[in-house]
Amino acid sequence: MKNRLMAGAAGLALCAGSAAAQDLVFPVGEGDFNWASYESFAAENDFDGAEITISGPWIGDDLDLVTSVIDYFEAATGATVAYSGSDSFESEIRRASQTGGLPNLAVIPQPGLLADLAAAGHVAPLGEETASWIRDNYAAGQSWVDLATSANEQAGGEALNGFFYKVDVKSLVWYSPPIFDELGYEIPTTMEELVGLSEQALADGFTPWCIGIGSEGATGWPATDWVEDIMLRTQPLETYDAWVANDIPFSSEPVVNAIELFGSFARNEEWTGMSPAEIVANDFRNAPDGLFQFPPDCLMHKQASFIPTFFPEDAEFDFFYFPPFEAEDLGSPVLGAGTAWAITDDSDATRGFIEFLKTPIAHELWMAQSGFLTPHSGVNTDLYANDTLKGMGEILLSATSFRFDASDLMPSEIGAGAFWTGMVEYMRSGDAQAEAESIQAAWDAIK
C-alpha cells in the first residue's frame, strides 16, 4: 500500500483500490488543495488492514461531510474506518465508558466531557509533541492546548487529551451591507467605535440593535453569550477561566460589570426599540428580522455563526467581529465552541488519524464543502465554500486567544440553568448584583 501511494497524487486517484478512494469528493491532485500534505501523509502511514471505529455527535449532513474526509484517510493508509453519529452522543459515550464499549476514537463537543473521560482513564494522552504542534500551527494555539488539557489517569497528571477540529465562532455582529452603505457607516474595529456607531444610528433616526433572548425552555441563553464575550473584552483570560471554574464567585465585580455592560445594550430601550420584557419574549430566531425590513427596524444583531439559517431567503447580509475595547488592551479574543478528537482505544492507527488531522488537506476538504471553520494557519482560506465562512475563518486566524462558551463549561445546573434564568431576571429587574448573587447561591448549593 505505501509503495503504491508514493507514486504521486495522480497515481493515488487512479490506483487506490478501495471503494472510498473511487468516491472521493475531490479528485486527488485537482484544485488548489494542499495535496502535498496528503501525499506526504500517505507516504509515511501504512495501516493496511487496520479497522478504526469513531463515534461522535455529527448526524445528517455533518455525518456525510465527516465521512467524505475520512474517505481520504482510508485511501491514503489502507485502513477501514466506521463512523457512527448520534444526537445523544454525550450520554452514550458516558455509558460506554462504564460498560467497556468505547470506540477507538471519540469526537467530543464539550471540554468538560473530555476532561471527565480523561480523569477516569479512558483517554490516551496525545503528548507534548502534539501540544507543541498546536501551539505552532493553530492561531491562538496555546488556547487550544489549554482547552484540551486536564488531569489524565493514564498520564498520571495533566496531559493534552484532545485535538480540536471543526470550530464555531460566536463573536459576530450581523448587519445589512446595503443599509450601511446608504448611511455611510464604517465597520467599527473597537468597542468604543461600536458604541459610537450605536449613538450615531440613534441620532440618524434608527434603532441600533436587534436583540431577543427568547428560546422556549432555554430562554436566556443568548444573553449569556453577550456576557461571555464582554468578559473576554474586559478581563484577562485568567479571570475568565477562574469565573468558569467558580474560583472567583459569580457575584464578583468583574462578572457584575460584564452583566451591566450587556445591560447597557439590551436594557437600553432607545437602542433596542423594545422594553426589557419584550426582549425576553422576542425569540432569538426572529430577532434579526428587523435587519432586512425597509426601512430597517434595527441595524445590528449579535449572534453566532449559525444565525443565517433563520434569515429570509433573499437577505443581503454580512458580519463583523465583535470588537475589543481599545482601552483594555486585551488583544483580539474569540468566543466559540468546537469538537475535540480523543483516542479512547490507543493504537498506531488511531495515532495516525490524529496525525492526519494535522494536515492542511484534512481541513481543506471539509472547508470546501460546508459548515466548517478551522484555526489551522496552514490552510488555503480561498477554499472556503463561501465568503461568509471565509470571513469567519479569517477572524479565527486573527484571534490572539480563544475561549469556549462559558455556560457550556459550567455545571449544567448553572450553565444551562441558573445562568440562563438569572439573565432573564436581570432583564426584568436591572439589578446585576442581586442576580449574580442568586446564580452564585445556586452554584454553592450543588458543591
What per-residue confidence (pLDDT) applies to 21?
46
Using DSSP, state whether 29 is helix, strand or coil. coil
Mean pLDDT computed over 31-46:
98
What per-residue confidence (pLDDT) applies to 23?
86
Cell of 161: 487529551
List own/partner pairs for 176-180 with CB under 8 A and 24 or more apart.
176/291, 176/292, 176/296, 176/299, 176/315, 176/316, 176/317, 176/318, 177/316, 177/317, 177/318, 178/316, 179/291, 179/296, 179/299, 180/299
Its sign, for the CA torsion 435, 440, 444, 447, is positive
What per-residue confidence (pLDDT) applies to 218?
96
pLDDT digits (tens, 9 = 90+) for 231-273: 999 999 999 999 999 999 999 999 999 999 999 999 999 999 9
What per-residue confidence (pLDDT) applies to 124?
98
User: How crowded is the C-beta side of 271, counted as CA atoms within 13 Å?
Assistant: 20
User: How crowded is the C-beta side of 90, counted as CA atoms within 13 Å?
Assistant: 11
Give the closest residue to 47 by CA, choosing from 26, 18, 19, 27: 18
Cell of 27: 479528485
End-to-end CA distance of the chain, in Å?
A: 55
Give the closest residue to 279 by CA, choosing from 267, 296, 289: 267
Give percent of the chain above pLDDT 70: 95
**pLDDT > 60? residue 19:** no
Q: How far apart, in whole angstroms, are the C-alpha atoms of residue 93 and residue 53?
A: 13
pLDDT digits (tens, 9 = 90+) for 274-290: 999 999 999 999 999 99
pLDDT digits (tens, 9 = 90+) for 90-131: 999 999 999 999 999 999 999 999 999 999 999 999 999 999
Q: How far apart, in whole angstroms, are the C-alpha atoms of residue 418 and residue 413?
A: 6
CA distances, 27 to each of 2, 30, 213, 408, 443 (Å): 19, 6, 45, 39, 53
Give the closest residue to 324 by CA, choosing from 229, 191, 169: 191
Q: Rounded to 5 degrees, what are φ and ψ at 169?
A: -115, 135
Cell of 308: 443565517
CB neighbourhood size of 306 (10 A) = 11
CA distances, 1 to each of 19, 21, 76, 94, 439 (Å): 15, 13, 8, 37, 58
Q: How far apart, in whole angstroms, are the C-alpha atoms of residue 128 and residue 385?
A: 33
pLDDT digits (tens, 9 = 90+) for 347-362: 999 999 999 999 999 9
CA Rg, the chain, in Å? 23
Mean pLDDT computed over 32-51:
98
Mean pLDDT computed over 40-68:
97
What per-residue confidence (pLDDT) applies to 331?
97
Cell of 438: 442568586
Band of pLDDT at residue 6, cut at 50, 70 and 90:
very low
Helix ranges restricted to H, 138-289: 141-147, 177-183, 191-203, 221-234, 237-244, 253-266, 269-272, 276-281
**pLDDT > 90? residue 12:** no
